[in-house]
Structures are given as C-alpha cells and as structure tokens.
Amino acid sequence: MKYDAVRFLWKTIRQDRLAFFGVAVLFCLVAIALLAPLVATHDPNEMNHRVEGTVFWYRDGEWVIQESVGEWTLNAVTFCYDGDTAFAVGNHGEVLKYSAGSWEKEEVPTTVHLQDVAFGENLVVVVGESGTILEKRNGEWIIVNTPVENELFAVSIAPGTQKALVAGTEGTVLRRLNDTWELVDTGATEDLLAVSFPAEDTGFIVGRRNVIFHYDGETLSRQMVMGFRDLYDVHAPTTDMALAVGERGTILHYTGTAWSAMYGPEARDLRGVRLIEEDKAVAVGSHGVIIRMDQGQWMREDTGYRRHLRGIDAFGGMLIASGTDPYVNSLARPSVDHWFGTTHLGRDIYSQVVYGSRAALTVGFLAAIMVAVIGTNVGLFAGYFKGRVDGLLMRIVDIMYALPLEPFAMILVLLSRPGLTIIIFAVGLLTWRTTARIIRSQVLSLAARPFVKAARIAGASDLRILYVHIAPNILPLAFLQLAVSVAFAITAEATLSFLGLGPPRIYSWGTILHEARLSGAWRTAWWWIIPPGVLIMITVVSVFFISRALEVLTNPRLGKR
Amino acid sequence: MGMRGYILRRAVQVLLTLWVILTLLFFLFRLGLPDPTLALVSEGLSPEDRMLVAERFGLERPLWQQYFIYLRNVISGELGTSFHYKAPVAGILGEKFLNTMVLMLPAILVAYSIGQLLGVLLAWKRGTRLEFTGVSLGLIFRSAPMFWTGMLFIMLFGISLGWFPTSGMRTLPYEASGFLDKIFTLDFLRHLFLPVLVIALYYAGLPMLIMRNTMLEVMGEDFIEFCKARGLSMRRIMYRHAARNALLPIVTQAAITIGLAVGGQVVVEVVFSWPGLGLEMLQAVRTSDYPLAQASFMLMAAMILVLNFATDLIYGKLDPRVVYS
Amino acid sequence: MKTISVHWAFVLAVVMVFSLSGMVFAEPVPEIELITTTEAYDPIRYESAFIIAEGWEQLGFQVNVRPMEFSTILERFYDEQDFDATILGWSGRVERLDPQHFLGTLHGGQIDLGANNPGGYVNPEYDRLFEAQTREFEVERRREMVLEMQAIAAQDAPLDVLYYRDEVNAYNHERFGNFVIMAGEALYNEWTPLQVEPITEKTVLTIGTPQEPDTINPLASTSVWGWKFMRLYYDKLVRLSPDIEPVPWAAEELIPVNDVTLDVVVRSGMLFHDGEPVTVEDVKFTFDYYIENDFAYFRPFFAPIESVEVLNGNTVRFHLKEPYAPLITVTLSQLPILPKHIWEAIDNPADLAPDQIPTVGSGPFMFDRYDRGEYKRIVTFEDHFSAGDIKIDAVEYRVYADSEGVFTGLITGEIDMTAWRLEPGQIDLAEREEHITVVSVPDFGYYHLTYNLRRKPFDDVAVRQALSHLIDKETMITVLLQGRGEPGTSVIAPINAFWHNPDVVRYPYDPERAREILEEAGYRWDDEGRILFPAG
C-alpha cells in the first residue's frame, strides 16, 4: 500500500485549477517573505521625511498652495517693488525670484544654507551660514566680506535706504553703513533670530530666551521683558508698533513704549509674523499653523495643509508664506514613492505588508506543523490502541475543545510577554484537537483492515505497525489537516496581532491593522486598511483551494460528482 | 440507559472538564506569577494590606492547600477582587457574560439558518453561475478575518453612510429595570446589527458548504427518487426531505463552531466596543488585572462547555439513530 | 649604550603590556534594557523608546527596548527598582503645581523600595535645599531654592525630562459657551460645570470619556478619574481657582496663627445633600478619619498634620508637626468633607461593596446615578451657596470603550465635551468640524526617562549627559506629538512659570558633543564600534 505521496499530491493539485492557483500564490508569498529586503522599497520602521520648497499664496481672500519649487527648505520670502515680484531663499544656496507668474532660480556664488532675504533701495541682501552675506546690486550677486563666521539668521533694510541690520548666532549683529558692514556690540551671547528695521533710527532684534534689542541708529539697548521663550520673528511696519512671535505660540506686542504678552490661540511654535495695520496681523508656524489678528483678536485659520511654514511677507492685501522644514510624509495616499501610501508616522505601508508576510508564513507553517505532528500522533495512538488510551486521549481532546484560542493566547501573554512564539504555541497547543479526532476515526477503520492483521500475525511490533503500515495511509488526510491548520494559524496570528499581542516592531498584517486602529486614522485612510486585509484573505483562500483539492483526494466520493 | 442517564453522564463529564481547566489555570498562573500580591503593590497597597490579601488567598500555605482554597473559592462564586475596579470580579463579569451571549447566540443562529438555506439552494442550483458565486463568496467571507470586515463595515455603513451606530450596545442614557428591558429595544437592535452581520458572514460559509455537499450526497439516494416519483414539488423535496437528512453534520459542526466563536468573539467586541467578556478580558490583560483575566477565561470555557452540552442534546433529538449509551 | 637600550626596551614593553591589557581587558558597556509602555497603552511613549534607542546605538551602546504592560513597569520601577532605564510620566494634577511633589521625586530620602525616587539619585546639596524649601513660607526665598534645585538636577542629569505633552480637549460651541480652561486639566476641571452657559435648550452638560473611576469610595479611590468625579459632589475647604490660586470655598477664612498652626473658619449654613448641616465636627471628623484609616493615597497630604481641634462652633484649628508650606494649596484643596453621621458607623471603609458606598456630600452637585462602564450623572444641588451661579441642571458622563468612541460621540453631537485628550490623528479631523472647538493646553506633568543610578554605566554623570545629548526630542515633538508639546528641560514645566527655571543646562540633540563627553571621560570603542568602559 505504499506509494509516493508527494507525487500523488502534486498530480492532484495540477488537475485542479483552483488548487494550482493556490499553490502559485503561496509560492509567491514565500518568495516575497524570503526576499523581503529586496522586494520592499523602504525600511518599514522608517518615518519617511520630505523636504519641499513650498509657497503659500493668499490672494483674493483665500490660501492657495503652490506646487513644490524644489526639494529644499525655503527659509524666507519677501515681496519687492510690488506684489508681482518676490524673492525666496533656502538651503544649499537657493535663491529664487518670482516674476511674471513663475519662479526662476538665480545664479549665486555660494551653496551654503541661506536664512533670510531683504529688499531695499536698489539692493537685495541675503544672509546665511558661516557669516555669508550676498548683495545684489545692479543685477549682480556678489559675496560681501564680513568680519564674522557665525551663522546669520536675519536681515532687514530700512525702507528707502541702503542701511541694513543683520542678526546671527551668539549675539552677533552687523550693520550696513555706506556700503560697508561692521559689527555692533550687543553684549549678548544668545542667538539672535530675527530683525525688523522700519526706519533708519529704529530697529528691533529678537532671539532666544526672550531677548529683545532696540536699535536707535547708533547703539543697541536690551529690553527688559518678562518671559523666557525663544522669539523667532519680529515685525515692525512703523517705529511705534511691532509684534514678535516665538516658541509655543508666544506673541509679544509693542505699542511704542513697552512690550507686553498677548493671548494667542495656538500652543505650537510660531515662526513668522507680519503686522499689517495696528490691529491686523498674520502669523505662521509649524504644522501649517496660520493665525490672523483682526481688531486685536487672534483667530486660527485652517487651510488644511500641515507642512511647516517659516517665512511670511505681506503686500497690500496679498500674503506669501514659505516652507517647509522637512516634514514627515504622513497619511500620504498611494503614489509612486509609496505604492500603498503611508501611515500616520510616514511609514511605507507597502514595505510593511511585504515584511508582514514573514510573520504570517512563519507562524502559519510552524504552528500548522506543530498541530499536524501532535494531532496525527494522538490520533494514531487513540485509534490504534483503543480502550483506555483512546478514552484518555479523547477526554484530553474534549478539554481542548473547551479552551477558546484567543483568550488562551491572551492569558499566555499576560503571564509572559507578547511575541510570535506565544502565538505559535497557543495555536499549536490548542488546535490539534480536530486533527486528532479525524485521524483517529480513519485509523479506527484502517486498524480493522486485513493488511494490519497480516502484519500483526507476522510479528510486527505495535509501533512498527503504527508508523510503517498505518501512517502512510493517513498521510493524505494529515496533509489535508496541515493545510487547514495553516489557514487557521494565519488567521489566528492576524487576529492576535490585531489585539496587540504581537511582538514590537515586527510587522505582521494584523499588527498593521492594529496600528491603523490605534492611530484613529483608519476611518479615512482606506489605503492603510485594505492591503493587509486583502493579503490575509488571498493567503487563506489559497490554502482553502489547496485543501479542497486534497479533500477530493481523501474522500473520492466528492470527486465523482 | 435512557435519555436521563445520558444527560447525567454528560453533565458529570462537563463538570470534570471544567475541573481540569480550573486546575490548569491555577498552575499556569502560579507558574507565571509566583506572588500575586506583588501586582497589588503598585496599586498603593501597604505591606499590612498585602499580608491580609495573602492570608485571604492562603498564599503562605503549601501549594496543594492553596489549590484547595482556590477551588473552594471558585465553587462558592468567590472569583477574587479585581485589581483595577477594586470590586468583586463576579459582579463585574455577570453582565458582561450576558452581553456576550446576546451578541453571539443570535449571530450563530443567523449564520447557521442562513448558511443552511443557502447550502440547499446551491445544491439545488448545481452547476449554475449562482452556485459558483455562492461558493466563492462563502470562501471569501470565511477567509477575511472578522476584525477586518468589521472595520470595513464600520467605515462603510457606520461612518460613510451613517446607517448604523459604530460602537457600544445602546445609546445612553437609558432607563431599564432589568436586563431584558435593556435588550428588547429598537435601539439595541440597531447596535446589534453590524456585529451580528460580521460574525454571521464569517461563520455562514461553513454550514453552507457542508449543507451543499451533504445535500449532493443525499440527493443521490433512493428516497429522493421515490419522492419525485410521488410527484412532490422540487422545493418541497429539497427543503422538507433532503435537507432534514443533511442536518446532522451541520449540528456536529455547530458544536465546534461555538468553541471557536467564543474565542473569536473577542475581536468583534473590540472592533465594535461591545461591552462583553472579550473586551473586558483584553482590558484586564492590558492592565495586568490577573483575577479579572482569569475569571473571564473561566467563564468563556464554561460557556463553551454548556453550549456544547446543549448541541449534544439537540443532536440526540434530531437523529433517532443515536442511542443514549 | 647597551644597558640604556635594554632599559628602554623594558619600559617600552611595560607600556605595551599596559596598553594592550587596556585593549584586551576593557570591559564593554553592558546592554541597556529600555523599558517603555506597550503600543496600545501609549503609542507616543512606545515610539519614543525606539527613537531613543536609535540615538544611543549611534555611539555603540547596545539597547534592548522592552515594551511592557503598565502595571509591570510600575512594579519593576517602584517596587523592585529592577530596571536600567524606564520611560514613565507624571500627570499634571493641580496640587502638583506646588513644586513639592515633583522635586521630591529626586530627593535622597525617597530612594527606598516603593518610594518616589527609584533612580536612586542622591545629592546632599539638593536634599538640603529640598528640606529648606519645604519649611520656607517666604515665597520669593522658596522660589530661589526651587530654581537652584532644578539647576543642580539638570547638571547631574539623573533623568531626562523627555517632553511635556499638551492636553488637547474639544467642545461643541453650538451647545455651550464659557468653558473654563485650566493648565494641566484643560476642559475637564472642577470649574467648567460651575461656569458653562447653555446656548440651546439643552441644560445638561454631557461629557464623554473612555476613563472610569476605579471606585467612587473616597477612602479607596486611587485614580484621578475617581477624584475628578467625586470632587463635584463633595466639597473641599479650599478650591484652586482657574489661575491655580487657592480660594476659600467651604472655608470662610483661613487664619495662619504661626508656622505650625492654622485656623479655618467654616462657612455657615452649608447642608449635606441629605439635609443635615455641615459643621466643624464634620471637618474634624474627616481629617481624623483619613488619618485613622491611614489612606495611603492621601498620606503625603495629611502626614504633616499633628491634630485637628474644634475651637468653637465655626472654627477648627490645624496643628502641624512641622512647618509645611503646601498645607493650603495641597492638603486643604484635596481632602473632601465627609458627613460624620454617615461615615462614623463604617469601620472598614476600604472594603465597602460597590452598592454600599455612601454618596452623600455637600458639593455644588448631587450624586444621581452611576452605571459602571456606561453612564454617570450628577444634578445641581439647589441649596449650595454657589447654586445661584450654576447655569446648568446636571452633568452627565458617557463612558466609551476607547478614545475612538469619544471622538465619534463628539462629531455626532452625542457629547458636548471630552474629558480625555484627543489622539494626534483625531485633532486634525476635529478642527475641521464646524461645531467643534479644539482646546490645547500645556501640561505641567512630564514624561521622563529615568536611569537607575545604582547600575553601571548610569552611575557616571558623563554617560548620563552623553545619553541625553543623543535623544532626538525634536522628532518626538514634531512627528509623534505633531507639535502639541515641547521638549523637556526640567521637572518643573515651563507652564508653571513661577517655579520653572528656564536657565537650566540643556542637552540638545548633538551626537558629536556626546562623543566628546564620553571620550573626555575615558570611554573608548572597540573594532565593532561597541562602547567600552574606561580602562582600569
């Protein structure tokens, strides 16, 4: 009665088109799991960042986001002459000029990060890293010699003049007088981050730890202001009013005599501000924050964009804001970069799904093998020895039937800790019950067959009869049970991982769905929900198809129809 | 031996099984958690209080004595005090148990009644496109994990279309004098609909396929031909005569399904925030509330045993060939 | 000539042996087990742990991140002190605005098992200042000491304050107005129900939360959620105003007699909800009862009290064991006034069955019903002295299974406000809803990474400082918290502006600086880049 079981299996499967499909799918999945690092496009744990030079326009009463102008942060932006021309500067020596409706790159003799730009009478000044100052005079960009190596963060030019103030790290302040730059003593060691220069004899400089300086055309004087927050920007349209914004939504207001704190509606950082009229202003900040003051009251304005904004400038009724710092590409829809989109932390879902096949298959096969081995042996012994052995084993099977799987796994996790091993053991230890029952009934009938009697008469030992004579006959059935167990184990693994009982940082399809639910984003992010579920489904269906073919094999009656 | 003797014997068997499970749990917990009072300390228990607890559970006595104290406590319904709620576990779980039952029983009932009817239909319409679609859909719903279909249904019917509530058992507040009052309301049924649908779709595939297969076998048998010869309508033959004979394997399968469903229920309760045993148990595991987790598990095991017992009796009723021996 | 060269050869050999032995025997820094919460419990802390581990691994530290169930963490951290480094948090409860509690978590007197300083940080100078500030009633002088303590702690870096997370709540502005926003507690504070004004016909304020009181037994509840509920139907002698100033409440007047004696004049004409009058006897009884039952959760509050004495029909006198600055702001503002006529008959109050717990208080609201896991309601107590100002008829609470449920309730108008923070993913969606106002309030609680100073390499201040320089807090804030929070600097948060020291030394993310610090302290790296202890 021996025959080549594997070859026979293969023949059966080849005849059944659905089973063939199932085997093909499983092979693909095994290949994907083995080659996951090659197949995946990203590290599944990487929070993918993006840098985009983005410009926000406010025209005719609404905000419009302009397509990215390049892959670098735009640190500052300024209108010049009129609303039709503007300059923007960014990292890696980027200087862009906007005119006639489009942005053009300017050729400049540097590649350092540029932090700020200001526009004055026949003069554009750009400042940046390592004491860099660029001037554009008569259509020509030139590098100016400066007496400092510090990073320069801000520049402002007094309207109608060529006088400028520049602020930088460690209390650095430079001023431009008669075409030359000179250092101004501040006595401060804090980094100075912004400057506003409304008139030749008035300037404001702000910086970290609530530092505020006033400039009177000659010297700087430090202002005593309550508070300790970093100030990121200051703007004074005239000499007697100014606004400064900073860390954690800090807003300070200057009314010609003193600075006072203002209540703002935002607790996140504010990076840029423009005071338009006495009681009208706009400020921008990280995560797309835009707030607007009207009649002295600040209100939040929601554009729906969540990119970080840095610079802002106003002209007439128009506003222009620039960004962006590197931002995490969270909840991105499927795209060329991210085939299945990204999670709320900017992780690549496609790569997670690819790596997830590893957990599913590992648990699926290991647990199923455990189930098949235990179940088959218990079935063999119970069916062959009958009597007490059978009674005892079948009682154990009865008990097993009373233990619910998911709760059992939860108890194991409670008593040790989450992990794939726990899941494998839970499935393996609990679900051999069905296999045992089915094998047992088959063995019961086999044991009564003549060839078993013949073996016994020939003096073969019980174990020999069991494993040499009977076992090969139940192999197809055992394979069928193995297949069913694989499907069951894969579903169980997904379920337990979905409950958060899987190992940390190892993605499985269940874990992906668990995270989607935890994040609260699943109600809208369909691209996060659908791929892992579909994969679970396809895998399990494939296994079902295979087991259906095997069923025909073990129960020829079904095949006849 | 008659029916009564059989029931008695099965009942004893159920109790024995329960006892084995209790024993298993006891040693599992003692193995994983040598000193249960340690877990209590973080709740601000003073050393003296800890001693008191230790005394109540007999923790300073030898293991076998502890075991008997544990059994005695369980039998007298003293399941311990929840670490989290600081209240007796029995009181907390009582209603959760009922909540789980009112979700699970209708779901399985629906799954099996619809599954069977469809199974008969598929056998009848053998070889048609309907059969193919039916079998495929059955397989697909059996392959898609319940938590996933649950999430999709919530997205679609709950959030996008707004037809059904997405979580919980009822709209609060409610005025009800007893448990029955709470569940026989339209509002409750609306809450029940989606979770029942999800569970039913998952479990309906199996009885449908079994029914179809058995029907195909039964239809080849002589008495069907006999019925046809008597001029009975096909509908009548299918549903009255053939189906009746195909019921037995389905009841057998139902017994197994119940065991699976009690466990699988957990995930549906989580997705729909259904205040049942499963959700409570997950919370207990997350807060390391050992007594609550242990008791939840016990209740689930007991639930399976009792329901299986019930299916056994039904099986006996259905199949006259079963002799109670 | 020959002898000299032999001599030199000998010296050279010795040097070589020493340097070699240094190479060979230098011990690698052991793997660090970094304990954090599970993802389900708190995704932010879970992800933070991996960000920290990535930072540390850059300099050759081996890190094993271990997410654990919350109570297991507490057990390992507080009760067993069995940890290398653990991420935990302190919630910002109003009474913790007084710096006493947070500074105490670094006090050398609290390093025993189970106490609040499991890291085992001991600095005699810090401890001296701590004890001095406890007794200091002159607030400016106390402040100076508090600022200096923060500077010392930051320098020694026994822990890294990771971030302060904003409390983000939301309410339905089409139904109610005039919500009170309080630091640390955001919307769900004790003043909101007293001050909200209905805009529509609906005069019952509905609050949604996934959190449940552990119990409503005032002698057993150890959770914020129990007390945030009970404080509305129990009254307290003092309540902390929305600006966190103590205002006499059930007390009419507070008269300090000397450093260790305080007279409290109890407001007259107050009633319990069962109609019995509130008397000085009830006040004395309450404190005696808590002390007698030694209710652990309140122990720090009543521990400094020697005795409570009834002076006359409307005054009680508190005798202290020693001067205790936070008596009014902490003790008197936290302990509820219990009705003597009900509780004096109860001997083991902690063991009360849930249906036997008395719910009679004298607060502005009356307990009405509580269905565990589902629903709670309190109704306005018309005989309370503040009843005239209350504009709603009742407050009801709906309990949801998770924050998902709360969020859905908010969107669909089932609830009027949340009592639990919105998850970062939900905030965005809520802000886009027409009828919802989102409120974001900085917290004065903090999340911290505490090192076990009893273990190597954390006994070395250089290592701790270097490790702090390797923590990328910016990513935690901008990505994980989506900007709703700020990098940590001191155990006293910036929002607590009066006590916060903004000038403590900071450890910005700077791997180069970290390497320098370690090199200066003698640490080296082997061929695989693994960090080694200084030789010898």
Cα–Cα distance between B135 and B128 in angstroms, integer?
11
What secondary structure does DSSP assign to C314-330, as a single string? TEEEEEESS--GGGTTT
In a shared domain, residues B215 and B254: yes
Rounded to an integer, the average pLDDT of C443-451 is: 93
- Each domain of chain C, given as residue ranges in start order, spans 32-165+444-532, 167-440
Q: Out of C68, C403, C483, whose CB is closest to A287? A: C483
Across the interface, whether the CB atoms of A415 and B140 are under 8 A apart is answered no
Q: Out of A248, A287, A306, whose CB is closest to C486? A: A248
Q: Which of residues 138-177 of C touch A (CB under 8 A)?
A: 166
List b or e across A41-74, with b for residues whose CB sees 16 or more CB atoms inside 10 angstroms.
ebebbebbebbbbbbbbbeeeebebeebbbebbb
Which has more pLDDT, A5 or C133? C133
Name the maximum alpha-carbon separation found in chain A.
Answer: 119
Block residue for tokens 């339905």: C172
Chain C residues inside the 8 Å CB shell of A504 = 38-39, 46, 65, 67
In a shared domain, residues B63 and B112: no
Rounded to an integer, the average pLDDT of A92-105 is: 87
Interface test with A, best of C486, C496, C499 (most A CBs within 10 A): C486
Rounded to an integer, the average pLDDT of C5-14 is: 62
pLDDT at position A560 is 39
Interface test with A, best of B10, B13, B148 (most A CBs within 10 A): B148
Min distance C29 CA to chain B CA atoms (Å): 31
CB C244 within 8 A of CB C230: no
pLDDT at A282 over 80: yes
Rounded to an integer, the average pLDDT of B285-307 is: 84
pLDDT at position C244 is 78
- Closest CA relative to residue C414, chosen from B132, B162, A401: B162
Across the interface, whether the CB atoms of A495 and B147 are under 8 A apart is answered yes
- Asked if B266 is an interface residue toward chain A (Cβ–Cβ < 8 A), one would say yes
Cα–Cα distance between B72 and A404 in angstroms, integer?
24
pLDDT, tens digit (0-9, with 9 covering 90-100), for C505-533: 999 999 999 999 999 999 999 988 999 99
Highest mean pLDDT among A67-81, A102-116, A406-420: A102-116
Rounded to an integer, the average pLDDT of A440-454 is: 84
Rounded to an integer, the average pLDDT of C201-210 is: 91
Question: Is B82 part of any domain?
Answer: no
pLDDT, tens digit (0-9, with 9 covering 90-100), for C467-501: 999 999 999 998 899 889 999 999 999 988 889 99
Q: Which of residues 57-116 of C touch B (CB under 8 A)?
A: 69-72, 74-75, 78-79, 114
Roughly what angle, to the nearest 10 degrees, separates helices B89-124 and B277-286?
130
pLDDT at C17 over 60: no
User: Which ranges of A337-431 does DSSP label H, i.e. alpha helix?
Assistant: 349-385, 387-401, 405-415, 420-430
Q: Out of B38, B85, B273, whose CB is closest to C214? A: B85
Across the interface, whether the CB atoms of C408 and B84 are under 8 A apart is answered no
Report residue C249's pLDDT band, with 50, 70 and 90 as the boundaries: very high
Average of per-residue pLDDT values in chain B = 78
Interface test with C, best of A190, A284, A344 (most C CBs within 10 A): A344
Min distance C78 CA to chain B CA atoms (Å): 8
> What percentage of residues in chain B have a pLDDT greater than 70?
78
Rounded to an integer, the average pLDDT of A143-151 is: 88
In a shared domain, residues B67 and B101: no
Task: Quote the strand ranges of chain B, DSSP E.
Answer: none
In a shared domain, residues B14 and B131: no
- Closest CA relative to residue C294, chosen from B47, B81, B42, B54: B47
Rounded to an integer, the average pLDDT of B39-61 is: 58
Across the interface, whether the CB atoms of B275 and C78 are under 8 A apart is answered no
Min distance A267 CA to chain C CA atoms (Å): 7
pLDDT, tens digit (0-9, with 9 covering 90-100), for B164-186: 887 777 665 555 556 666 666 77
Number of structural domains in chain B = 2
Report residue B270's pLDDT band, with 50, 70 and 90 as the boundaries: confident
Question: Is B17 part of any domain?
Answer: yes
In a shared domain, residues B22 and B117: no
In a shared domain, residues B27 and B148: no
Nearest CA in chain C to B82: C214
Interface test with A, best of B151, B152, B309 (most A CBs within 10 A): B151
Report residue C1's pLDDT band, with 50, 70 and 90 as the boundaries: very low
Min distance B183 CA to chain A CA atoms (Å): 26
- Closest CA relative to residue C183, chosen from C237, C236, C245, C232: C245
pLDDT at B286 over 90: no
Output the CATH code of domain C167-440. 3.40.190.10
In a shared domain, residues B296 and B175: yes
Chain B residues inside the 8 Å CB shell of C222 = 43-44
Rounded to an integer, the average pLDDT of A163-179 is: 90
Which has more pLDDT, B187 or B195? B195
Question: Percent helix, strand, coil in chain A (nearest 5)?
Answer: 40, 30, 30
pLDDT at B55 over 70: no
Across the interface, whether the CB atoms of A406 and B263 are under 8 A apart is answered yes
pLDDT at position C310 is 93
**Residue C504 vs residues A255, C152, C206, C234, C451: alpha-carbon distances, Å:** 32, 8, 43, 41, 19
Across the interface, whether the CB atoms of C214 and B286 are under 8 A apart is answered no
Rounded to an integer, the average pLDDT of A114-131 is: 90
Across the interface, whether the CB atoms of C483 and A269 are under 8 A apart is answered yes
Q: Out of B148, B264, B278, whose CB is closest to A533? A: B148
In a shared domain, residues B15 and B140: no
Question: Is B178 part of any domain?
Answer: yes
Rounded to an integer, the average pLDDT of A94-101 is: 86
Report residue A561's pLDDT band, with 50, 70 and 90 as the boundaries: very low
Question: Is B235 part of any domain?
Answer: yes
User: Residue A355 has which token pair?
Assistant: 């790596």
CB B208 within 8 A of CB B118: yes
pLDDT, tens digit (0-9, with 9 covering 90-100), for C138-162: 889 999 999 999 999 999 999 999 9
CB A48 within 8 A of CB A342: yes
Across the interface, whether the CB atoms of C296 and B166 are under 8 A apart is answered no
pLDDT at B11 over 70: yes
> Would you call the peptide bond into C457 cis, given omega within 30 degrees of 0 as the criterion?
yes
In a shared domain, residues B118 and B196: yes
Cα–Cα distance between A549 and A12 in angstroms, integer?
7
CB A68 within 8 A of CB A56: no
pLDDT, tens digit (0-9, with 9 covering 90-100), for A245-254: 999 999 999 9
- Closest CA relative to residue A348, chosen from A356, A336, A338: A338
Neighbours of chain C (3+ CB pairs under 8 A): A, B
> What percentage of residues in chain C have a pLDDT greater than 90?
55
Question: Is B86 part of any domain?
Answer: no
C182: phi then psi, degrees, rounded to nearest 5:
-125, 140
Chain A residues inside the 8 Å CB shell of B264 = 405-406, 495
Residue type, A357: S
Q: Out of A308, A417, A521, whose CB is closest to C425? A: A521
Report residue C405's pLDDT band, with 50, 70 and 90 as the boundaries: confident
- Asked if A392 is an interface residue toward chain B (Cβ–Cβ < 8 A), one would say no
Q: Tell me the three-class secondary structure of C335-402, residue by residue.
A: CECCCHHHHCCCCCHHHCCHHHCCCCCCCCEEEEEEECCCEEEEEECCCCCCHHHCCCCEEEEEECCC
Across the interface, whether the CB atoms of B172 and C405 are under 8 A apart is answered no
Range A217-221 contact pairs with CB under 8 angstroms and sequence separation of 24 or more: A219/A184, A220/A173, A220/A184, A220/A185, A220/A186
User: Residue B268 has which token pair?
Assistant: 């549906």
ipTM: 0.83
Report residue A125's pLDDT band, with 50, 70 and 90 as the boundaries: very high
In a shared domain, residues B292 and B261: yes
Cα–Cα distance between C471 and C514 in angstroms, integer?
10
H helix and E strand count, chain C: 17, 23
CB C319 within 8 A of CB C309: yes
pLDDT, tens digit (0-9, with 9 covering 90-100), for A475-530: 878 888 888 888 888 998 899 899 888 888 889 999 999 998 888 788 788 999 99
Q: What is the helix (H) or strand (E) element at residue A99, kind and residue range?
A: strand A94-99
Q: Give me the domain span that covers residue B234.
A: 93-318
pLDDT at position A456 is 84
**Residue B199 vs residues A33, A512, B109, B270: alpha-carbon distances, Å:** 31, 22, 10, 13
pLDDT at position A556 is 53
pLDDT at C456 over 80: yes
Rounded to an integer, the average pLDDT of B246-265 is: 78
Report residue B325's pLDDT band, with 50, 70 and 90 as the boundaries: very low
- Asked if C349 is an interface residue toward chain A (Cβ–Cβ < 8 A), one would say no
- Asked if C30 is an interface residue toward chain A (Cβ–Cβ < 8 A), one would say no
Q: What is the model's pTM? A: 0.84
Across the interface, whether the CB atoms of C71 and B288 are under 8 A apart is answered yes
- Asked if B209 is an interface residue toward chain A (Cβ–Cβ < 8 A), one would say no
What kind of fold does domain A11-47+336-560 have according to CATH?
A: MetI-like fold (1.10.3720)
pLDDT at A559 over 50: no
Rounded to an integer, the average pLDDT of C390-397 is: 94
C32-165+444-532: in CATH 3.10.105: yes
Report residue C191's pLDDT band, with 50, 70 and 90 as the boundaries: very high
Q: Out of B266, B271, B304, whose CB is closest to A402? A: B304
Average of per-residue pLDDT values in chain A = 87
pLDDT at C205 over 90: yes
pLDDT at position A538 is 92
Min distance C185 CA to chain A CA atoms (Å): 15
Q: Out of A228, A268, A500, whose CB is closest to C483? A: A268
- Asked if C425 is an interface residue toward chain A (Cβ–Cβ < 8 A), one would say yes
Report residue C173's pLDDT band, with 50, 70 and 90 as the boundaries: very high
Average of per-residue pLDDT values in chain C = 88
pLDDT at position B177 is 55
Q: Out of B139, B148, B262, whose CB is closest to A513? A: B148
Rounded to an integer, the average pLDDT of A376-381 is: 91
Q: What is the helix (H) or strand (E) element at residue A441, kind and residue range?
A: helix A432-447
Interface test with B, best of C227, C355, C374 (most B CBs within 10 A): C374
pLDDT at C20 over 70: no
pLDDT, tens digit (0-9, with 9 covering 90-100), for C289-334: 999 988 877 887 888 899 999 998 899 999 999 888 788 888 898 8
- Asked if C404 is an interface residue toward chain B (Cβ–Cβ < 8 A), one would say yes
Interface test with B, best of A411, A509, A514 (most B CBs within 10 A): A411
Rounded to an integer, the average pLDDT of B306-318 is: 78
B37: phi then psi, degrees, rounded to nearest 5:
-70, -20
Rounded to an integer, the average pLDDT of B187-193 is: 86
Least confident residue range of A190-199, A301-310, A505-514: A301-310
pLDDT, tens digit (0-9, with 9 covering 90-100), for A337-363: 899 999 988 899 999 999 999 989 999
Neighbours of chain B (3+ CB pairs under 8 A): A, C
Chain A residues inside the 8 Å CB shell of C50 = 45, 505
Output the CATH code of domain A49-328. 2.130.10.10
pLDDT at position A122 is 83
Q: Which of residues 142-171 of B touch C (CB under 8 A)?
A: 166-168, 171
Least confident residue range of A538-552, C225-239, C246-260: A538-552
Across the interface, whether the CB atoms of B275 and C374 are under 8 A apart is answered yes
User: Residue A129 has which token pair?
Assistant: 């890293």
Q: Which of residues 314-373 of C touch B (CB under 8 A)?
A: 353-354, 372-373
Task: Write the CATH number for B147.
Answer: 1.10.3720.10
Phi-psi region of B168 (alpha: psi -120 to 50; beta: other; left: phi over 0): left
Which has more pLDDT, B247 or C40? C40
- Asked if A544 is an interface residue toward chain B (Cβ–Cβ < 8 A), one would say yes
pLDDT, tens digit (0-9, with 9 covering 90-100), for B118-150: 888 888 777 788 888 888 888 888 889 999 999
